Structures are given as C-alpha cells and as structure tokens.
C-alpha cells in the first residue's frame, strides 16, 4: 500500500533535519577544533626564516569582560556565561592546535569598565584567569599573577582609564591582581642566538602636557645602549594604544585626541611626536597593540617597523587572536612571523549549540510520528 502524503512529508522533513544535524555535528566536532589550521593566515613579517626551538607567543586584545553584577537581570548573567564559554573554548583550541606557547599576552582592555568597584573587579579577574590561564584559582580572594607566569597583561583604558582618569588605587589593584604596568622579559633561546627583549609599557601616560615621567623612563632604559639594553638587543614593544599613522592607513578611526587640563581625556592613537620617538630612538623590531578593535597591519616607513594592531577577541569581532613566532635568518638576525587567527562569532556558536539538541529532539518526534502514521495506515 503506497504511503500517504503525510507519511512522505514526515520522511522528507526527517531527512532535512538529519542533514542539519549532521552539518552541526561536523561544525562542532571537526571545524571548531581544527579552526587554527583552517583560518589562521600570515600577516606582515618575515616569512622566510628559520624558526627557533622556542614556542610561539599568543596575543589577544580587548576582551572587555563584563562583571557579574548581582542586581542585573538574568539575561545579563546568561550572556556573561556564554561569553565565558566562548573565550574558554577559543583558548583551549588554540592551546591544543598552536601551543604550547612561551607566553600568553592580553593587550589591554581586560574588563569592560574602568570604574568597577573592587568586588566586580575581582570577579572579572577570577574569570580571566579561569578562561585564559587554563584553570581557575581555588581561592578567589587571592589573585596574583605569580601563579600564572605564562599569562601577562598590558593595562588599557578600560582597566585604568585614560590619563585624566588614572587613580592611584586603581593602578595598585591592577598591579596587585595582574602584573606591573611597566615590565620587561628577556626571551633566551636554547641555541646561541641573541636574546630578544619583550617590553611592556603603559601607553596611557605617554602623551599630554602632564605626561608621566615613569613611563618615559621605562622606555628610555631600553634604548639600544641604555642601562637595560646595553647590548642593543632587539625589542618587541607591547602597548595598548596603537602608534600614530597617517589618516586612512587602517580601517579604524583616524587619529583623534581630546585633552582636559593638560591631560589626555581620550585618544585612539599615540601622538605623532611620541610615535616618532619610539620608532626613531627606541627602534623596536616590532610593535603589538590593541584598542582599535578593527585590527590593522602596518609597516612604519622609513624605519620598516611592523606594527600589528590585533583585531578584538570579542565575539562580535570574530574572536581574533595572534600567534607570533620568533626566528632567525642565516646570520642569526631576529626575524618575526605573525599569524592572525580569526575564530567565529558567539552568535554562530550559540546557534550551533542550540540547533544540535533541538534538531535531535525533532528527529525523535518525527520518528515517532512516522511510526504512528505507518501503523495507522496499516490497519485502515
């Protein structure tokens, strides 16, 4: 006896839902875990070099994590959990496919708001270490980067505020929780190749009439031949705010500055004077920055200095991260290779996560309906 139109309709819908389920399973179990191999692309830098035995460096910018405010609605809490899962998934996949890393670095704007009260600040910090350091601390009241030496932070305007908003208590809690605002690290290679200096600076204080001497002294100490860099080692400079560039050089906003009583109230790049000093006097081998959100790769002429402004790691910007590999040419000179690794939007992953159980449930219901229709037609 031929099947009824209802039975054929159930079978057709079942095949469509089964196909959707298969696509979702492939995305979650194959595409997601392999995304670094599928989507990472080389950015400006030196492609033909001999990689060192040293692991690569992993960079993210501007996660801007929102604190769990107790009085907020349930949607706010659920949205935070989704973002936490997104960052955790991204970090674990990158560690699995591209790691191990010499270090992981957050290029500023760790949190969403610079004036969080202390309990909300600690809430964000605890979640940051849980997501990006591959494990949470047992004691949430003790937050010190001493236990997570491979995870380092640059201060951003959403962490401390621009120059006119800086408060001593905010600086102290940042340094007590994450690390010093001004720090350096010497990367020593297993071979006889010369070391490389990683230099992190609080660029929020470099401009304006009342600019900080502390930040400037930190940079000046790493000028080739100066106290902290007498051997003239190559410097990789880490900042939150990008260097000045001619208008139209990058997708983001053109250079803009707002001042209040001699202090910077807002800026999207460092000033041209500060940029010229960094490029002409400090002479870094490369500069890595955040802040811009859109991301940009730019070669500063005539110095030939590459600057990688990382696209934001936020889900709305595709979860982008950067992997920097340090190598050498045949003469032992340092060469750098940067890979930009876009992930997926939180919305796409959320749709996939919701689609899978829903489609499986629909398949079960359709199977039951098809069986019921078949039995009904058999006895009619």
pLDDT one-digit tens code per residue, 173-182 = 999 999 999 9
The phi and psi torsions of 153 (rounded to 5 degrees) equal -130, 145
| Residues in the chain with pLDDT values less than 50 | 1, 135-148
- With b for 16 or more beta-carbon neighbours within 10 A and e for fewer, the 19-57 pattern comes to ebbeebeebeeeebeebbeebbeebebbeebeebebbbb
Q: Are 197 and 160 in contact (CB under 8 A)?
A: no
Cα 140 to Cα 80, 112, 122, 125, 337: the distances in Å are 18, 20, 8, 9, 37
C-alpha dihedral sign at 309, 311, 314, 320: negative
Find residue 325's DSSP bridge partners: 337
The pLDDT score that the predictor gives to residue 255 is 82
Strand partners, 264: 259
Question: What residues form DSSP beta bridges with 111?
Answer: 65
Q: Where are the alpha helices (DSSP H) in 221-294?
A: 272-277
**Which pLDDT does position 375 carry in this prediction?**
62
Give how far the C-alpha of residue 168 lies from the chain's centroid of Cα atoms, to the nearest Å: 27
Q: What is the pTM of this model?
A: 0.85
CA distance 267 to 37: 36
Q: How far apart are CA 132 and CA 290, in angstroms?
A: 17
Reference 276, options 207, 204, 177; nearest CA is: 207
Q: 346-379 and 74-98 are packed helices; what angle lies between their axes, rounded to 10 degrees?
A: 100
Closest CA to 255 of 271, 279, 275: 271
Crossing angle between the packed helical segments 74-98 and 118-132, to the nearest 10 degrees: 30
Sign of CA dihedral 368, 370, 371, 375: positive
Pairing mode of beta strands 321-328, 56-60 = antiparallel
User: Please, are residues 306 and 46 in contact by the beta-carbon 8 Å criterion?
Assistant: no
**Secondary structure letter of residue 268 according to DSSP:** S
| 5 sits in which H/E element | helix 5-26
Per-residue pLDDT, 97: 85
- 3-class SS shares of the chain: helix, strand, coil, % to 5: 40, 20, 40
Q: Are 89 and 132 in contact (CB under 8 A)?
A: no
- pLDDT of res. 311: 95
């Amino acid at each position: 006896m031929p099947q009824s139109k209802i039975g054929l309709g159930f079978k057709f819908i079942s095949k469509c839902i089964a196909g959707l389920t298969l696509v979702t399973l492939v995305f979650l179990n194959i595409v997601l875990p392999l995304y670094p191999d599928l989507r990472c692309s080389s950015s400006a830098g030196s492609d033909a070099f001999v990689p060192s035995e040293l692991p690569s460096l992993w960079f993210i910018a501007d996660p801007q994590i929102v604190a769990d405010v107790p009085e907020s609605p349930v949607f706010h809490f659920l949205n935070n959990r989704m973002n936490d899962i997104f960052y955790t998934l991204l970090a674990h996949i990158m560690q699995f496919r591209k790691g191990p890393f010499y270090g992981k670095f957050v290029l500023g704007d760790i949190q969403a708001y610079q004036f969080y009260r202390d309990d909300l600040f600690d809430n964000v910090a605890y979640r940051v270490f849980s997501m990006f350091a591959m494990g949470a601390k047992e004691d949430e009241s003790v937050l010190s980067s001493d236990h997570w030496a491979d995870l380092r932070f640059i201060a951003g305007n959403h962490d401390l505020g621009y120059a006119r908003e800086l408060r001593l208590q905010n600086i102290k809690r940042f340094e007590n929780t994450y690390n010093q605002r001004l720090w350096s690290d010497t990367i020593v290679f297993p071979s006889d190749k010369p070391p490389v200096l990683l230099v992190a600076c609080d660029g929020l204080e470099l401009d304006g009439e009342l600019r900080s001497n502390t930040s400037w002294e930190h940079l000046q100490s790493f000028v080739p031949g100066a106290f902290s860099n007498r051997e003239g080692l190559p410097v990789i400079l880490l900042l939150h705010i990008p260097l000045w560039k001619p208008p139209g050089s990058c997708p983001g906003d053109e250079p803009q500055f707002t001042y209040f009583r001699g202090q910077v109230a807002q800026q999207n790049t460092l000033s041209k004077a500060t940029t010229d000093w960094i490029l002409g006097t400090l002479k870094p081998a490369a500069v890595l920055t955040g802040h811009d959100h859109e991301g940009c790769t730019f070669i500063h002429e005539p110095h030939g200095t590459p600057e990688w402004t990382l696209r934001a790691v936020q889900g709305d910007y595709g979860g982008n991260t950067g992997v920097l590999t340090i190598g050498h040419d045949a003469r032992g000179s340092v060469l750098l290779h940067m890979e930009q690794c876009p992930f997926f939007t939180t919305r796409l992953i959320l749709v996939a996560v919701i689609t899978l159980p829903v489609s499986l449930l629909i398949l079960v219901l359709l199977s039951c309906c098809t069986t019921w229709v078949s039995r009904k037609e058999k006895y009619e």
